[in-house]
Chains A and B, each alone.
Chain A
Amino acid sequence: MDAPIIELTDVKKSFGPVSVLKGVSLKVYPGKITALVGDNGAGKSTLIKGLAGVQPYDEGEVKFQGVPVALHNPREAAHLGIEVVYQDLALCDNLDIVQNMFLGREDIELGTFDEGKMERAASETLQSLSVRTVKSVRQKVSSLSGGQRQTVAIARSVLKSAKVVILDEPTAALGVAQTEQVLALVKRLAERGVGVLMISHNLVDVFQVADYINVLYLGQMVASVETSRTTSDDVVGYITGSKTYIEVSA
């Protein structure tokens, strides 16, 4: 098996007297989908904000491709190739797909945009992800469905040649068909060798695509298992605290 692309060891984070992460360890493998589940307030958001460099961890070690790294701000994370696709999507409705995918890092030639180059790259990226639901890359994002928006947001991270993509609730608020499309896209993302960390509340989705499942419970990683070696019942137990990994594996 490959070495993990991201390895967190004993990371801690507290806000004043409230300790949110109490020594969490996590591994994300390239080409694999790692799910992070847990109830509200378990510390999922805090964990990914640390990886995104938005809220640095207080203690603990972060290794990227085996090398200890510091993640103090979003730029350092982006520089390493860690991209976060947030739940609320972070797309501009009034811009088209190409403009959104290149927002903040447009191709410039002679001080003006090289629209042709950007259009081609955007279109190739979408095609490489086998996206077929988008008619034109010059469509305004406001005209897209929820699933198509999620697709554009994920394709945006691919365009940035991200090595690790963190997806925050990618299927929340999507219909059945759109959820299928987005999950298929997440799989293709992993097939490209990207390390995917997916946060989700939906265990059906998790069992459908994830290779590994990690469960946070009150700031502690109570289980890290291969999907094939666990059941939905057990995972629900870990999430609610009614079962522990040691009990089950014993």
Chain B
Amino acid sequence: MTAIISQDLPTAGPPGVIGSGQDGGLREQVTGYIQRVRSGEMGALPAVAGFVVLCVLFTTLSPYFFTERNFANLMTQAATLVMLAMALVFVILLGEIDLSAGVTSGVAMSLFVVLSNPGGLAMNWVLALLISLATGVVIGLFIGFFVARVGIPSFVVTLGLFLGFQGLQLIIIGDGGLYRIQQPEIIAIQNSNLPVWGGWVMLALILTITLVTTLLDRRRRSRAGVASRTIALLWIRLAIIAVLGGVVVGLLSQNRGTGFLAVSGVPIVVPITLLVLWIGTFVLDRTKFGRYLYAVGGNPEAARRSGIKVVGIKWAAFVVCSTLAVISGVFSASKVGSVDAAFGRDIVLSGVAAAVVGGVSLFGGRGRLIHAAVGALVIAVITNGLGLLNLPGGVNFLVTGGVLILAATVDAVSRVRAGGSILRS
């Protein structure tokens, strides 16, 4: 028996000591990462690679692609999808789906325009916005009741709402109605920019927050007496953020106006999206709600036996999803400049596609917000790039669909090659 056990002695470190994957120098960390990727835990890696390849491709094909103007344009085009994909992650992690996320934003924004427009009820726009967000909360509670409490599959519940809410939207807006967004503050989200110094302050803030949280984590870990990852990784990460962020902010700080008016700075929608991304990631990684979301998505029975209130977690996830979906609606309304009866109808499946392209598993339990965000960028860059090439609209859909299937195939093949199964985790 001893012989059997000694065969399985750990290869790294002295015998009997169990590692944490955080020990060792830079070399060990890098080989550890490569091992994880090889065993199928690729995360957003394929999506990032896809994004880079697409950018290079479009840059060579179109002189307009790699310009400051198109860069800013791409960000504002992508913002709505990024936000919606991040919203969907919360329910997809549970292995659920919310097909009504798009029309939820439609209902909320219809309410917003009817309540706030001078031609309508002329309500204070902040109040109207809060009511829209509250509408998202209520819709989330409603979906959560049927899915978590009654036990109907979320596909069915949200499919029902997808159909029903189109009607509700039509009733709120009125037949063939279209309201222009008249609040300059809402329009500004997608159409105005931070001052040039604001972009640099934003980048400095990101670097500071990364530095401070990592250092706090390290202090906490060393107080507990366990190893932290080598500090070199922190410097590398900061360097990457500084360089990439520097290039982006630098480009956006150039004048990209075409007329007399100078246009420069980071679009306001960017810091809002980054803030939601940061808060959401913080909640998912470091709080009980986030951990339990992954646990319920991985094995609901195990979660229940561990004393986790599965119904409550599911319910909360749908509320978060619907509420963030309303924010994506605000982005969309700001970009389009108007809300009509079809607002938000078509985007939801793109949101699901974005999450999957980014590496979020539809079976639940696997994926991060940043994955969905990168996936959304990939889909947005396809639309943007093909648009610049003046290809017919049909090509866009074909390419997007192809990329989705390609992403799912890469994921599945890497798992099978690593000896895992296609299904589940």
Contacts and interface: CB of A to CB of B under 8 A. Distances in A.
Interface of A: 74-75, 78, 86, 88-95, 99, 103-106, 108-109, 111-117, 119-120, 123, 126-127, 130-140, 142-143, 177, 180-181, 184
A130 B287 CA distance: 31
Please provide the 8 A-B residue pairs with the shortest distance between their CB atoms, ordered closest to farther. A116-B224, A104-B306, A116-B221, A92-B298, A94-B298, A94-B365, A138-B21, A112-B286
B312 to A, nearest CB: 13
A120 B1 CA distance: 28
Nearest to B213: A112
Contacts of B6: 132
Interface in B202-221: 217, 220-221
Find the residue from A109, A112, A116 having the highest chain B CB count within 10 A: A116
Contacts of A94: 294, 297-299, 365-366, 425
A103 B307 CA distance: 8
A117 B224 contact: yes
B324 to A, nearest CB: 21
A99 B299 CA distance: 13
Contact of A95 (B17, B18, B294): B294
Contacts of B303: 92, 103-104
B255 to A, nearest CB: 43
Contact of B224 (A88, A108, A114): A114
B288 interface: yes
A99 B298 CA distance: 12
Main secondary structure of the interface of B (DSSP, over half): loop
A119 B224 contact: yes
Contacts of B299: 90-94
Given A181-B5, A184-B1, A91 B10 contact: no
A103 B288 CA distance: 9
Nearest to B225: A120
Interface in B1-40: 1, 4-6, 8-12, 15-22, 39
Contacts of B39: 143
Contacts of B12: 135
B59 interface: no
A109 B220 CA distance: 10
A135 B19 contact: yes
A137 B291 contact: no
15 contacts: A90-B301, A93-B425, A113-B286, A116-B221, A116-B222, A119-B221, A119-B224, A127-B17, A132-B16, A136-B19, A136-B20, A137-B19, A138-B22, A139-B21, A177-B4
Contact of A93 (B223, B282, B424): B424
Contacts of A104: 303, 306-308
Nearest to B296: A92
Contacts of A108: 288
B16 A138 contact: no
Contact of A90 (B220, B294, B302, B420): B302
Contacts of B307: 74-75, 78, 104-105
A234 B340 CA distance: 81
Given A132-B8, A135-B19, A142-B425, A119 B286 contact: no
A181 B8 CA distance: 11
Contacts of B4: 177, 180-181
Contacts of A113: 286-287, 291
Given A93-B425, A94-B425, A180-B1, A123 B302 contact: no
A132 B287 contact: no
B243 interface: no
B305 A86 contact: yes
B18 A131 contact: yes
Find the residue from A104, A117, A138 having the highest chain B CB count within 10 A: A104
A65 B41 CA distance: 48
B295 interface: yes
A99 B41 CA distance: 17
Contacts of A177: 4
Contacts of B221: 115-116, 119
A95 to B, nearest CB: 6
A205 B29 CA distance: 41
A142 B41 CA distance: 11
B28 to A, nearest CB: 11
B21 A136 contact: yes
Interface string B299-343: 101110111100000000000000000000000000000000000
B45 interface: no
A239 B153 CA distance: 44
Contacts of A119: 20, 221, 224, 226
